[in-house]
A and B are shown apart, each in its own frame.
Chain A
Amino acid sequence: MHYLIGNLGHLFVIISLVAALASAFSYWKSFYSAQELTGKGWAFNGQVAFYIHALSVLGIVTVLFTIIYRHYFEYHYAYSHSSLHLQAQYMLSCFWEGQEGSFLLWMFWQAILGLILIHTQSTWRAPVMMVFAMVQAFLASMILGVVIPGLDFKIGSSPFILLRDAMDDPIFKTNPEFIPKDGHGLNPLLQNYWMVIHPPTLFLGFALTLPPFAFCLAGLWQKKYSEWIKPALPWALVGGAILGLGILMGGYWAYETLSFGGYWNWDPVENAVYVPWIVLIASIHVMMLTKSNGTALKTSMLLVIAVFILILYSTFLTRSGILGDASVHSFTDLGLSGQLLLYLLFFTIASGVLVAVNWKKIPSDEKEVSTYSREFWIFLGATVLCLMGFQVLLPTSIPVYNKIVGFFGGHSNLAPPANQVEFYSKFQLWFAVALALVSGSAQFFWWNKMSKEKWKDLLAPALISLIVFALIIALAKVYQPAYLVLTLSGVYLIVANIRILVSVIKGKISLSGGALAHMGVGMMLIGLMFSSGYSNIVSLNTNGLPISKDMGTDFNRDNLLLFINEPKSMAGYDIEYRSENVEFRNKRGYVRKNDIEPTPDPYRVVANKDIFYRGEKMYRTKDTLDIYPENTYYEIELRKNGKIAATLYPRIQINPSMGGFLASPDIKRNLNRDIYTHVSLTLNREEEPQWSKPEEVNVKIGQRFFINDYVAVLEEVKRIEKVEGLELTAEDIAVKARVRIEGEHESFYAEPIFMIRNKTEVGRMASEINDLGVRVLLASINPKTGEFTLICDSRQKDWVVIKAIEKPYINVLWLGTGVLMVGFGLAAARRVKEFRKSRY
């Protein structure tokens, strides 16, 4: 038992909380000291306290990671999130799989941002850091894990809790020192490289919404109503890029790993981060406006505050358990809902009060906005963005609404929309159209002084857009009205920004961030339209046998049943299920289960023939190799005109402790479309198969015969000295027949054994060929005629049910994402430079 390390971790948590509170208090005191000198003293205290806080956060992280990395399974966190066989890079995923670890990650990023702010800010340091320290104190309290004596009230959930305190298992009564040999393991869906980088990116995005919020509150508090924008803007831009990247990584992970068939499912958990990001983008635009000419200051403030509050709200939604039935992947309630609500309400009320008190004094716009001003257009765009967010926020909050009604004694049985994808898409599509049209045009108003006469500047891009649009719809055959409009507006957004890049910015890279980012959005819209709108189930099956006539004719069968080695045609390919595989541990690739023999260690197997993967020899016969036994990969071959176009390996893990059956797709990537395939049902090997009526054949050596329509030859029968699993004495006789059976792709050998033991007992061992679903038994030997009697029977062949979806032009989406990120990066770099210049 390693008690010390856990106690150390816990100590660090307490220090980090106390230091954060001390830092906030000291910074607060520094404003209210009568003398300047004491004020400076308090500010210094605050800084020292924040350093202590940051160091102890680093301490917590180190301790928790050590516990996971060293496999200290006496700790609940290590036990429930990792295991001995986990690869090193996924140890990181273990760290943030649990709620405590993800709070910690969030806290860690904010501590780092806090340190950066301490060193880059002078005038703003004290008030901004006060807000930071307060937020950090709330987060530290979430992992405190202290029970208030007498009240039975738990504050926070500690990651350093011992297994015996977390679990009610009788073994701990008899042996409190019990340590499990292995951990429970990491959810296989999270054993993916995206899960190593997606959570840190997302939480860095979360953390980056704090600096603008802190600057805004500081500005309100210090009555520097408009000065806070300049230092806040670079942070907001970086935040917009990182949070967006984090969300997209999550989508890409879902596309590669989950089997719901796409990258975005409008699940409440996804919506909970989508909304703050949309509002963050709106806030960035309005802030740029305010910075350039001081207009829309109040809106800037409200939006910046709203972003942070929405982040807290989304944390509350996903971690309080309130989504319960509504979401497939929200966290379970750790008993923190009260604390989370307090966290949310504290900052909502604090910022609300600050805004309300100062409202009258905040300068507002005097001038009437003109339709030709950039203000009008930016404002319009921000409005569309906010409405877009609002439309998603509202249905996502239905469980909250039910809870509130219930709290006041009422009853509400509202459920989220039944088909969430369809519901959200039909609204978001039109918002996206409005957004594309507004932001395409807004670029002209931003860079040019526009007037009534200059409308004609928009004419050329509009005309070019129409031509490009006509080409696209003609080539890609888009006919649906809504998609036509979306495509047109996406094209317009791209064309307008290319024109800006060429004619106004003239390729000056430092200024081109905005135009590039908008182009990226345009490409994403088109990519989204094609890959989702024209996402097409290619495993569609019209000759299936419906279970009931009531299903009606509109019920297509979306899945395809594939028997092993029996090709079917699908989406212009011949598709064939070839084998079950496992993955190599030390090399890239898969090996067929038929080609390996198990050893007592499930992670090691012996090759029973030379093993090839993609034409390359990986192991020789009798080699012992390391594999991952948990996952089964189904080899699915796609052939076009007889040539192999792709071999897909969709994955299944049968894992009772993780919810049973976990399917991950494999994707055949083409330039113009992806074919996405996942397994939806497999054969249950525990069930005894039904064998056909046995057939008897009498054959001589070398004679050809048929087993279940397969050509077979009895090649030889010879005496053997050893039979695996049996002790043979000198008098015992054992012979092995070797029957070659010609399968569809290769020959298999059935090797049934016939024995006479203790002179009289006859023993027979059948041999089964898994791939062909046949079984051969050597029943008797007739020395007179030289004939051997074989009994053969067959069963239903192995099968797998798959679903395959075609995603056209999905690469346009990924390309757009890349362009958007580059644009964001350039824009952020420009603002950081501006801020630096203003500082010196």
Chain B
Amino acid sequence: MFAYYFQLALLSLRKSPGLTALMVLAIAVGVASSMTTYAVFRAVAGDPIPWKSSKLFVPQLDMFGPKAHLNSSEPPDAMDYLDAMQLMRDHRATLQSAMYEISPSIVPSDARAHPVNVDGHAVYSEFFPMLDVPFKYGSGWTAQDDAQHAAVAVISSKLNEKLFGGANSVGRTLNIEGKDYRVIGVLDNWDPQPRFYDVVNNGGGFDSNSHDLFLPFTRSIDAGITNQGSINCAQPPAETGFVGLQHSSCAWIAYMVELDNKDAVASYHEYLYHYSALQQQAGRFGWAPNIRLRNVPEWLDFEQVVPPDTKLSLVIALGLMAVCLANTIGLLLAKFMRRSGEIGLRRALGAPRTAIYAQFITEAGIIGAAGGVLGLLLTIVGVACVGKVLPTDIAGLARIDTWLLLYTLLLAVTATILAGLYPALRVAKIHPALQLKSA
């Protein structure tokens, strides 16, 4: 029976090519604009570490005090050096790392080549196991290296390609800011977006510049490799330079901890509270404890990592999709009603209403499928073009994958069938006798 409806539908569609093309085009455009904006949205709203994000937390302490907050009671979204170091020493979480953004220069071994800047982070050894960072060669450094301020470095596969031609460079030497570091590990294509471990310093989380270098935090501080991220001060530092920054209450250090279960979260929360209370007793903080402990999804939401423009575009594109659907309903109705005579004849020859119904739903489905296929092509074009229009940090992340293509087809067919329900119902109600008389 389906094959017959299919044939009928094709015949009918061929009879009015203009109207058919119009419907297919409308569906395609509606679906493509929705899916293109969705592709961008999905890229930025996605969980960068879905298997673990609920176990990773960002602790916040208030070292500024209530006077420094102009509009809210939120503590600063980064830490000062003193507190970050104390938290590292206390070591109350399963895994933890303080970190700051660096951009030191690397001096090439070839004397004729000019030095280059490389972006990265100074982190602790637990950074790598905590974030499940994949290694191509070697591994991260150890807690002992942290303690000994070892001159070791982990580099990205991209930097490894550039400096060592992609070979296993573990054990090779790297000249950073005029001093030698031993390569201890090479990452295996790791570039999470948003850069959830330090969203404060990465243009709101998305950064198309790759991060190619990880150095031990302790070593980096020793070597005076300065912070490249933002600095937020309630009071100007009393001393100048990078050392002055370390002695100040300015917030510039990102911090992340892994807490594996509810009890661990509760006890870490308690620990932060007690720590703040102790600082109050000691007279460092002149205010009651004001702490936060958000997991990664909560943190990304709080930091508004998904740009409002991306959401706004999606809302507007869904509105466009609604108009396209209304358009399809109208045109399907017009198209179906034109064939009242034919329907009357089929009904008079004994076709039940359900048969008429099925026939027209099939026709709607075919239009939807055609719209879906065209929409798919337009989505591919759209995702390719969106990078030319929107900032590359964000649009560059939009990807076409099998799921997106499936969603596109599914959306087109489902939407068109839904749009066809009422017109099909209307034509199925046509009285056979009336139509035969007038025809």
A interacts with B: no
Chain B: residues with CB nearer than 8 A to chain A?
Answer: none
